[in-house]
Every structure is written in C-alpha cells, then in structure tokens.
C-alpha cells in the first residue's frame, strides 16, 4: 500500500488555518473522491459511494413510502424542447453541455445534456395526462446531470453530479403546494435524523428561486466555517410549465384544466455537507445511521496467541447489531487508529491481551474521543445505545454550533461586523425589494438563504433601505 | 383513465402474425416504456423500472458478495483518452455522441459521452495502483451509456441504456481469468434462477469479442421467435489496456509488472429478454422472483356488503409472504383480469360473495391459466409454494423451447433449411477461420453466438469450407 498510505502519516491542514485546503485534504485522504480527466468532474470512490448509497437508500424508501414511483428518463434534451419555458431556458442554457455530433454525422438539432429534467417530464406529461383520473402523477428518478460550472469543488459544485429529481403533476394548486411541503419535510427528516444536520426551513426569494418556479422551498445548513449550504430544494411550478408545454386534463365536469406541478431534488453535495458539518482536524466524522461501517475492531498485539481468534469471535458476536469491520492487517495499531479516524468510523473497538484477560474491550468514540471499558457480556446491549448517543451528540453539537453562529443585525454596520467577526447566519428584516437584496450581496457577499417559515419581527424597517420591512430573512455567505 | 385504458381492450398483435409488432405492443401496453424525444431514446416507466430495480438489486447483492465495491465515474471521456487503446477506439468511435460546446464556449478538446468506461477506469488505475498490495482492485458501477445506433428498439438496442459495468485489475493473467469466469457465473445465476431464462455459456469468436479484449465470455438466450439475444458478457483484457495506459505495479520482488484486467456488464436489455422469453399473446409473463407484484386480489361483485372488507383482510393476511396488490377500482373484473394479464402478474386471486361463503379464494396462474380453489386457511402455505412452481415451470418451459429450437447442421444446406423451417440455435463445426464465419453470416444472416464450454464433436470438418474443424459453435440469427 506504499504510496497510498503515506498520505495518512502526513498531517492534513488544520481547518482553522485554511478551511478550503482542509476540505480538499479530507475528501482526498478519506478516499472519498478523486478528480476525473475532464475539469470539474469527479470519481466517487468506494468509501464515498458507500455513504451516498446509504443516503440514497433511506431517501428512496421515504420517496416510495410517500407514493412516488421511480422511472428513468433520457439524458438528452433537444434544444427546441428546453426552450419551451422562457425562464427555465434563460436560467440553464448558459451552463449546459451541447452534443452536436452523433457517430460520424453532425446533428440537425443540437442536444443538451440534461442539467435537470423538467422539459423531458413536461413533454411526457403533455402526452400521457388526459383525465383527472390520471392525477396525481408522482415520479422520481436517480440520475446524473451536467452543469458547466466555472469553478468547481468535489461534491459542492461539480460539472457532473448525482441526484434524485422528483417531478409531479397535480389537479390543483393546493395539492401541488401540499406536495412541495411534504417533500421538504422528507428532506428535513433525512438531514436531521440520518445525517444529524440541523436545517433552517423556508422559502427562497424571487431572486434565488428555481428558474421557472412559482416559488422554491429550501433547507439550509451551516458549515463549520460559517458558510451556508443549500441542502435540498422543493419547487412549486404552479401551472407555468403546464401552459408552456400544454399539459391539460379533463376535470370531473369534462372541462379542460392545466395541471399544477412540482419538482424537488437533493444531490451528492450532501456528502460535502457531512464533511463540513461534522468533520474535524483528524478527518471525517460520520453519524452512525449513515456510516457504512459503524464500528471497527483493532486488535492490539495481534501476533500474540489467541488475540485474533478472540477478535474474530467478538466480530461475530455483534455483527448483526452494528455494521462492523475488523482490521487484521499488518499495519501498526497507531496507524490503524489514524486511518479509522480519517474515515470517520463512529466507534473503534480495541482489544489486546490485557483486555482479554479482563474479559473486556475498549470503546473509543470518534466524535468525542472518549474511552470506555465495557465487559464483553455487556457489549451487545451497550453498542446500539452508544450509536444512538453519538448520533444524538452530533446533531446537538451541530445545532449548538449553528446557534452560536446565528446573529441578529438591525443595520448594515452590524451586518458587516458579524460577517467579519463571527460569520454564520444573520437574521435581518427586508422590504422585499430585489434591489436591496442585490445591494446587500454586492456590499457583503452574503445572499438571502431563506425567508423562514418561523418569522420573528426584529425591527420595523428594512436593514438596507429603511423602508417598511416585510419579512425576516436569513442571510449568509454560501457555497 | 379514459384514453390510457382503451388500449387494453384493443387486442395486441399475435406473435405468430408479426413478432416485432407483438413486442412493440407489449412494451407499450404493459406500460414498460415510452419513447423519448430524441430518436432511439427511451423513458422507462414505473412498471418497467420496478422490474429493472429488482434485477439490479439482486445482481448488486451478488456483485458485492463477490467482493466488489460500487463507485461512480464521470460521463465524459476526453477524445485523447479514448484513443489510447487502438482496437477499443476503432470499435467504439464510429458510434459515440460528441460534446463540442460547454456553456457558451467551444471546447478545446471534444468529449465523448461514455459508450463504456474502460478508458476512464484505466486512467484511474494507472494513477492509483502502485504495489501488489493494491491488487486486486474490484470496482463496479451502475450507470447510463450512449451508443449512436442506427436502428433502435426499446430495451434491445437503444441510443442510451442503463447497465452495470464491472472493471477489475489483477496481479496475474490467471487471477483475471478466474474473475472473468466468476462474473459469468453470477450472470448465469441471475438469469437462470431469477429471470428463469436458460442460457448457453461460452466464448465469443475473435470477430465477435469486445473491442480491446483478449477474449469475451458470453451468455446467450433464445427468444420466442427463435432469435438469440446476447444477455451478458465478461471480458478478459490480458494486459492490453495496461500497456496502452501504462498500468503497472511493483510485485513482491520489487519488479514492475503490468496488471491484468477484466470488465463485465449486463444492461436493461434483460427486460427485452424477459418479454420475449416468457411473454404470450395476452402480454407479459413475469417470473415470481423478479415480479414487482407477485399476486393481485381482484374482488368479484365488490359492491356487495363485506366483499371489500374481506378482500382487504385477505391482503393483510398474506402481505408478508408475497408482494401483493389489490385492485379495488371501479373497473369491471373482466377489465382487471386483462390488465393484470398484460402486466404479467404471476397469480391473480379472485374473491366474490360465493367464495366468501365457502371460505375460499380462486387462484389463477398467469403462466398456464390454471384455476385452483384454495381454502382461506391454506392460503399462507399454498401461495409461496405456488410461486416456486410457477418460477420452475417458466424455466422448464423456456428450456424445452430452446431444446426444440436447437438443431445440428453438418452442411450448409441443412443449416439454411433449419433457419427457414425452425429457426433457433444451430450447432455446427467450424475451422476457426474468420472468412468462414463471415461467409456464413453473408449467406444466412446467422452469426456465431458462442463457442460453448461444453463441446461436442459433431463432425470432423468445418461446415463452411470443409477443412479440419476446430470447435463446435452455436449459430443463430440474433438481436
């Protein structure tokens, strides 16, 4: 393993020193990702993909449990189809990849490599929805999409990424609104209860909403450096796409009506969130519910008689309770400790000759570093509870961090001071005018993250123009 | 459901009359697939995708159980990278889609939308394999690929399809050979024991092998019309790609060696095989192990008091034993029968007032049409056994069909006569010369399907040129 393992002994950059470099070090050294040959593309390696598979499986379960069916739509969109909805094409056309040749011939019409699939689903719905009895149509797909981004970072912003995109059609505006909210709730549950990432929930401003949407709901999380990450969005399209694509149905009275649509998605960027919310200067820290490996056994003095046998029987004892691995390689225990810390495995189980004598093991938590001696006979009851404790602690810690990095600003000086001294979410009142939003961004680089469902009245006037305030908004610098 | 259901009352074309039209009718009316807006692309609808998910999940389980890890490699391949292996680029370059523009700029190097990912994995292996301790590297990915085919048919040959592609690197030729055979065995198990499709196993000729491979192993199945379908392939690359991409490792003596590689894949074309092996003139017939819905309850006279209640309690009674659905819609029972036959659901359970009186249900098998009255108390033991019986019967029926359509030819006249009268697999001796293979194809349209592992000596001389025969080959017209 020569070259590969040398990386583990080289220390990673401390996050306080250079957060961006720390992030890059972690994704590389935890073996999550590598760069593809085309600029901005990524290779998700086994350890990274196993995490994505666990996120995907839980989310897929919830998507199906809420009545949706998986489908597979094509990769290519004819240029003319993308152009049907005006706002949508304006939002996406500048950042797509174009296929111009197939085999040895130039195509008569250029094809877009899907940046998102609204156009394809709408075309399908226009042909396949006829009557109110066909509604709702609740589709989802797991796919790859391409957006020609200028600056890229693994997971956070890449030329190609993996995601799920739900696309639904409903009889009424209200039903579509209910769907939009329901899927935001599913995302909230997966983030908070599986990834242990607390989220702010709310509506995007007109400026920040999805190209072609009536409104966009969002969940926003806070990274360790005080920057926000948009972590999942759910869009209500009203009947805008239906009008552009002529998607109508006959209602119970035989009258033609436009459908109302939604779309919603989360992406591999969630792996970036996991790293930047829970990670530390020794590497990744994974919440037990999403960790492909929840515990790893590291035998101490494994060359001594009986140690390995005992370690294997320990593994067999608990393998149905937790996802467990064993590192019986010939590397030193210290090396193995560093490796499993870098990978973020929630619990390391040490077992040496002395422990065997005492009929015990040592449990070491990845999140706190705490050691705990546990009698072998208590391990089966202790391990699952310990997993819950770690899961809970990670969520609480992230929530506390967010609270410590959430501040109120009532004027622009305060706003700028917060960003300079303790960046994070800033709560501030806003008049609703896009010019103020743009001015704030220009002066501070912070953008509106969401208009939270839970409103507070902090002041009467807009922080920017001083006119009457309409809403409280969460602002932050964001990825 | 107006327009959509009208299709069910229109009869589908009989397969004896026009097999190609029968196939098209089934994929459309069983709601498996629709056409995408770009010629040759397909939309896999919920009922089709649910079957693919079941195939994928079982295969994924076996791929992981044999030690492989899932990964995700990029969609785009730089032109220069594809060109590194000479045979490979010659085989694929004429049928790829080219990306020439990203965003608003022309690219300095054209990108290929992956038709297969050898070039990407090789590039990665060349950077990430250093020592014998890094080997074997056993990767797999589930992805979409694009091949610019001229004539297309849903599932069988499409511009874009879904598949898994395994890519592995090994220290020795022998280890890679073992891997190549192992994965062919996995495919054989999934086809025969899950899809109930018997396969012939063997090696491809030099002419038919994968572009860039040392040799290709294949499983071949026979469709109802007597045409063969290549259903899964496993390639041994020797060190050809390793030499082109400079993939070396230091062996235990510190000497530099080329790795030996394999790749293997199956695709959504398996859905085409399912349709054409088991389907009949009433639609799809699904083997129970792969059927998303294994049984459907159709209440008779459901408006009568107690019928629906009883049907729902019946569903609850068996829902943990089989994947069961209930059709309580207001369509007529006859309509529902047609629908669930078209969808290929293995067992239909009828229950009406008379059955309730007698404490029984009626089970109707999709494969044979046989009816069976079963006392309610026996249903839990009977249903799982019935599923096994159907699974077994489908395999036996398909095997019998293949045997009836496998013939021996010892001269070209016999060969042609078989193809004219009872097309299927033809066993015939071959000298090993590509010119004979080409001549046979030219004269008969039949191609060599495989050189089977189980050889028989039918004659001493090549069926085409009369020179000394080297091997027995299975020939057939193929999809």
pLDDT of residue A5: 43
- Phi and psi based region of residue A31 (left: phi greater than 0; alpha: psi -120 to 50; beta: remaining): left
Task: Report the candidate in B434, B36, B340, B138 with the shortest Cα–Cα distance to residue A122.
Answer: B36
- To the nearest whole Å, the CA of B298 is away from the closest chain A CA by 20
E strand or H helix that includes residue B331: none
| Residue B220 belongs to some domain of the structure | yes
pLDDT of residue A202: 98
Q: Which residues, 6+ apart, have CB-to-CB distance to A313 below 8 Å?
A: none
Measured CA to CA, the distance from residue A350 to residue A363 in angstroms comes to 7
Residues of B in contact with A38 (CB under 8 A): 74, 76-78, 111
Token pair 């702010």 is at which residue? A200
Q: Which residues, 6+ apart, have CB-to-CB distance to A283 below 8 Å?
A: A12, A26, A29, A30, A341, A342, A343, A344
Q: A357 and A259, same structural domain?
A: no
Indicate the SS3 state at residue B359: coil
- To the nearest whole Å, the CA of B102 is away from the closest chain A CA by 4
Give yes or no for A95 touching B (CB within 8 A). Answer: yes
Tokens describing residue A57: 């499986």
Local structure of residue B131 (DSSP, 8 states)? B
How would you class B378 by CB atoms within 10 Å of its CB: exposed for 0-12, middle for 13-18, buried for 19 or more?
A: exposed
Q: A204 and A68, same structural domain?
A: yes
B1: pLDDT strictly greater than 50: no
CA A138 to chain centre: 22
Say if the Cβ atoms of A1 and B100 lie within 8 Å: no
pLDDT of residue B6: 44
**pLDDT tens per residue across span B263-275:** 999 999 999 999 9
Give yes or no for A6 touching B (CB within 8 A). Answer: no
What DSSP assignment string belongs to B44-65? E-HHHHHHHHHHHHHHHHHHHH
Residues of A in contact with B43 (CB under 8 A): 71-74, 120, 124
Task: Kindly report the CATH number assigned to the domain that includes residue A23.
Answer: 3.30.930.10
Test mutation, A63, A71, A93, A323, chain B, max B CBs within 10 A:
A71
pLDDT of residue B85: 87
Q: B186 and B57, same structural domain?
A: yes
Q: A219 and A126, same structural domain?
A: yes
How much is the average pLDDT of B287-292? Answer: 98
Q: How many domains does chain A have?
A: 3
E strand or H helix that includes residue B370: none
Listed by number, the residues of chain A in 137-176 with a beta carbon closer than 8 Å to a beta carbon of chain B are: 139, 143-144, 146, 148, 150, 159-160, 162
Average pLDDT, chain A: 96
Task: Report the candidate in A380, A404, A386 with the shortest Cα–Cα distance to residue A345.
Answer: A386
How much is the average pLDDT of A381-386? Answer: 97
Task: Report the candidate in B192, B194, B201, B273 with the shortest Cα–Cα distance to residue B233.
Answer: B201
Q: A102 and A14, same structural domain?
A: yes
What DSSP assignment string belongs to B81-93? HHTTSHHHHHHHG
pLDDT of residue B465: 96
B256: pLDDT strictly greater than 90: yes
Task: Report the candidate in B35, B45, B69 with the shortest Cα–Cα distance to residue B284.
Answer: B45
Indicate the SS3 state at residue B445: coil
Q: B227 and B146, same structural domain?
A: yes
Tokens describing residue B25: 């009718």
Give yes or no for A376 touching B (CB within 8 A). Answer: no
Give yes or no for B5 touching A (CB within 8 A). Answer: no
**pLDDT tens per residue across span B63-97:** 999 999 999 999 999 999 999 988 888 888 889 99
Task: Report the candidate in A441, A396, A444 with the shortest Cα–Cα distance to residue A419.
Answer: A444
A6: pLDDT strictly greater than 90: no
Residue B95 CB neighbour total at 10 angstroms: 16
| Residue B285 belongs to some domain of the structure | no
Say if the Cβ atoms of B130 and A3 lie within 8 Å: yes
Question: Among all residues of chain B, which has the CA nearest to that of A82?
Answer: B37
**pLDDT tens per residue across span B307-357:** 999 999 999 999 999 999 999 999 999 999 999 999 999 999 999 999 999
End-to-end CA distance of chain A: 35
Q: A316 and A245, same structural domain?
A: no
Give yes or no for A81 touching B (CB within 8 A). Answer: yes
Q: Which residue among A252, A278, A304 closes a domain?
A: A278
How would you class A299 by CB atoms within 10 Å of its CB: exposed for 0-12, middle for 13-18, buried for 19 or more?
A: buried
Local structure of residue B390 (DSSP, 8 states)? H
| Residue A286 belongs to some domain of the structure | no
Give yes or no for B123 touching A (CB within 8 A). Answer: yes
Average pLDDT, chain B: 96
Give yes or no for B4 touching A (CB within 8 A). Answer: yes
B431: pLDDT strictly greater than 60: yes
| 3-state DSSP of chain A | CHHHHHHHHCCCCCCCCCHHHHHHHHHHHCCCEEECCCCCCEEECHHHHHHHHHHHHHHHHHHHHCCCEECECCCEEEHHHHCCCHHHHHHHHHHCEEEEEECCEEEEEEEEECCCCHHHHHHHHHHHCCEHHHCCEEEEEEEEEECCCCCCECCCECCEEEEEEEEEEECCHHHHHHHHHHHHHHHHHHHHHHCCCCCEEEECCCCCCCCCCCEEEEEEEECCCCCEEEEEEEEEEECHHHHHHCCEEECCCCCEEECEEEEEEEECHHHHHHHHHHCECCECCCCCCCCCCCEEEEECCCCCCCHHHHHHHHHHHHCCCCCEEECCCCCCHHHHHHHHHHHCCCEEEEECHHHHHCCEEEEEECCCCCEEEEEHHHHHHHHHHHHHHHHHHHHHHHHHHHHHCEEECCCHHHHHHHHHHCCCEEEEEECCCHHHHHHHHHHHCCEEEEEECCCCCCCCECCCCCCECCEEEEEECEC
**pLDDT tens per residue across span A130-167:** 999 999 999 999 999 999 999 999 999 999 999 999 99
pLDDT of residue A417: 97
Task: Report the candidate in B20, B21, B19, B314 with the shortest Cα–Cα distance to residue B10.
Answer: B21
pLDDT of residue B86: 85
**pLDDT tens per residue across span B151-206:** 999 999 999 999 999 999 999 999 999 999 999 999 999 999 999 999 999 999 99
Test mutation, A89, A98, A325, chain B, max B CBs within 10 A:
A98
| Residue A290 belongs to some domain of the structure | no
Measured CA to CA, the distance from residue B2 to residue B331 in angstroms comes to 11
Sheet strands side by side (includes A76-78) = A76-78, A105-113, A97-102, B97-102, B105-113, B76-78
Give yes or no for A103 touching B (CB within 8 A). Answer: yes
- To the nearest whole Å, the CA of B254 is away from the closest chain A CA by 12
pLDDT of residue A1: 34
Q: A337 and A428, same structural domain?
A: no
Confidence of residue B2 (pLDDT cuts 50, 70, 90): very low
- To the nearest whole Å, the CA of A411 is away from the closest chain B CA by 39
- To the nearest whole Å, the CA of B82 is away from the closest chain A CA by 11
Listed by number, the residues of chain A in 318-347 with a beta carbon closer than 8 Å to a beta carbon of chain B are: none
Tokens describing residue A434: 């896009």
Range of the domain at A143: 2-278
Check: CB of residue A423 under 8 Å from CB of residue A226. Answer: yes
| 3-state DSSP of B221-247 | EECCCCCEEEEEEEEEEECHHHHHHCC
Say if the Cβ atoms of B74 and A36 lie within 8 Å: yes
pLDDT of residue B128: 97
Task: Report the candidate in B81, B261, B260, B108 with the shortest Cα–Cα distance to residue A36.
Answer: B81
Q: B115 and B48, same structural domain?
A: yes
A478: pLDDT strictly greater than 80: yes
A88: pLDDT strictly greater than 90: no
Task: Report the candidate in B117, B91, B112 with the shortest Cα–Cα distance to residue B209.
Answer: B91
E strand or H helix that includes residue B249: strand B248-250
| Residue A395 belongs to some domain of the structure | no
**pLDDT tens per residue across span B110-167:** 999 999 999 999 999 999 999 999 999 999 999 999 999 999 999 999 999 999 999 9
| Residue A310 belongs to some domain of the structure | yes
Q: Which residue among A223, A243, A278 closes a domain?
A: A278
Confidence of residue B106 (pLDDT cuts 50, 70, 90): very high
E strand or H helix that includes residue B377: none
Q: A218 and A130, same structural domain?
A: yes
Give yes or no for A61 touching B (CB within 8 A). Answer: no
pLDDT of residue B7: 43
Give yes or no for A3 touching B (CB within 8 A). Answer: yes
Half-sphere exposure of B131 (CA within 13 A, CB side): 10
pLDDT of residue A10: 60
Give yes or no for A434 touching B (CB within 8 A). Answer: no
Give yes or no for A94 touching B (CB within 8 A). Answer: yes
E strand or H helix that includes residue B374: strand B371-375
Confidence of residue B8 (pLDDT cuts 50, 70, 90): very low
Say if the Cβ atoms of B38 and A111 lie within 8 Å: yes
Q: Which residues, 6+ apart, have CB-to-CB distance to A305 below 8 Å?
A: none
- Out of A41, A46, A76, name the one closest to residue B74 (CB): A41
Test mutation, B3, B38, B100, B107, chain A, max A CBs within 10 A:
B38
How much is the average pLDDT of A21-36? Answer: 96
- Out of B42, B69, B73, name the one closest to residue A36 (CB): B73
A89-98, A427-436, B112-121, B455-464: range with lowest mean pLDDT: A89-98
Task: Kindly report the CATH number assigned to the domain that includes residue A445.
Answer: 3.30.110.30
| Residue B287 belongs to some domain of the structure | no
pLDDT of residue A87: 86
Say if the Cβ atoms of A41 and B111 lie within 8 Å: no
Q: B308 and B257, same structural domain?
A: no
Check: CB of residue B275 under 8 Å from CB of residue B283. Answer: no
| Residue B391 belongs to some domain of the structure | no
Say if the Cβ atoms of A99 and B99 lie within 8 Å: yes
Task: Report the candidate in B299, B295, B294 with the shortest Cα–Cα distance to residue B351.
Answer: B299
Question: Among all residues of chain B, which has the CA nearest to that of A150?
Answer: B103
- Out of B1, B96, B134, name the one closest to residue A134 (CB): B1
Q: B299 and B188, same structural domain?
A: no
Task: Kindly report the CATH number assigned to the domain that includes residue B380.
Answer: 3.40.50.800
B3: pLDDT strictly greater than 70: no
Say if the Cβ atoms of A71 and B49 lie within 8 Å: yes
Q: Which residues, 6+ apart, have CB-to-CB distance to B261 below 8 Å?
A: B122, B125, B167, B168, B169, B170, B176, B237, B238, B239, B241, B242, B247
Q: Give the strand pairing for B295-299 and B324-326.
A: parallel
How much is the average pLDDT of A33-62? Answer: 97
Give yes or no for A42 touching B (CB within 8 A). Answer: yes
**pLDDT tens per residue across span A317-368:** 999 999 999 999 999 999 999 999 999 999 999 999 999 999 999 999 999 9
Give yes or no for A78 touching B (CB within 8 A). Answer: yes
Check: CB of residue B275 under 8 Å from CB of residue B28. Answer: no
Say if the Cβ atoms of A113 and B100 lie within 8 Å: no
Listed by number, the residues of chain A in 227-256 with a beta carbon closer than 8 Å to a beta carbon of chain B are: 250
């Amino acid at each position: 393993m020569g070259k590969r393992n040398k990386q583990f002994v080289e220390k990673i950059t401390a996050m306080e020193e250079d957060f961006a470099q720390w992030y890059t070090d972690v994704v590389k050294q935890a073996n999550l990702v590598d760069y593809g040959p085309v600029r901005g593309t990524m290779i998700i390696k086994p350890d990274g993909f196993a995490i994505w598979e666990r996120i995907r499986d839980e989310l897929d379960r919830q998507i199906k449990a809420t009545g949706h069916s998986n489908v597979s739509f094509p990769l290519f969109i004819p240029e003319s189809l993308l152009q049907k909805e005006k706002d949508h094409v304006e939002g996406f056309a500048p950042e797509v990849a174009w296929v111009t040749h197939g085999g040895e011939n130039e195509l008569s019409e250029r094809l877009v490599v899907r940046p998102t699939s609204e156009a394809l689903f709408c075309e399908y719905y226009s042909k396949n929805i006829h009557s109110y009895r066909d509604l709702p149509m609740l589709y989802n797909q797991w796919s790859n999409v391409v957006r020609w981004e200028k600056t890229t970072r693994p997971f956070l912003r890449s030329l190609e990424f993996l995601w799920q995109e739900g696309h639904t059609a409903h009889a009424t505006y209200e039903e579509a609104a209910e769907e939009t909210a329901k899927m935001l709730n599913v995302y909230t549950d997966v983030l908070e209860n599986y990834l242990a990432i607390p989220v702010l929930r709310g509506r995007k401003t007109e400026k920040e909403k999805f190209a072609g949407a009536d409104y966009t709901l969002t969940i926003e999380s806070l990274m360790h450096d005080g920057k926000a990450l948009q972590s999942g969005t759910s869009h209500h399209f009203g009947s805008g796409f239906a009008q552009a694509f002529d998607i109508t149905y006959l209602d119970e009275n035989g009258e033609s009506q436009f459908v109302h649509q939604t779309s919603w998605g989360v992406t591999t960027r969630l792996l970036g969130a996991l790293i930047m919310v829970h990670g530390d200067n020794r590497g990744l820290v994974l919440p037990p519910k999403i960790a492909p490996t929840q515990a790893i056994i590291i035998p101490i003095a494994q060359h001594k008689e009986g140690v390995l046998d005992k370690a294997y029987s320990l593994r067999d004892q608990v393998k149905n309770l937790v996802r467990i691995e064993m590192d019986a390689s010939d590397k030193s225990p210290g090396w193995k400790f560093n490796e499993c810390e870098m990978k973020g495995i929630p619990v390391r189980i040490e077992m040496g000759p002395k422990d065997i004598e005492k009929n015990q093991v040592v449990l070491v938590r990845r999140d706190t570093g705490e050691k705990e001696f546990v009698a072998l006979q208590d391990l089966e009851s202790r391990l699952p509870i310990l997993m819950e404790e770690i899961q809970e602690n990670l969520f609480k810690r992230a929530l506390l961090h967010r609270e410590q990095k959430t501040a109120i600003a009532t004027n622009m000086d305060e706003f700028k001071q917060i960003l300079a001294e303790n960046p994070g979410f800033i709560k501030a009142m806003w008049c609703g005018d896009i010019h103020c939003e743009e001015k704030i961004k220009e002066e501070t680089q912070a953008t509106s993250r969401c208009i939270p469902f839970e409103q507070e009245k902090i002041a009467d006037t807009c922080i920017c123009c001083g006119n009457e305030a309409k809403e409280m908004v969460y602002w932050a610098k964001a990825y």
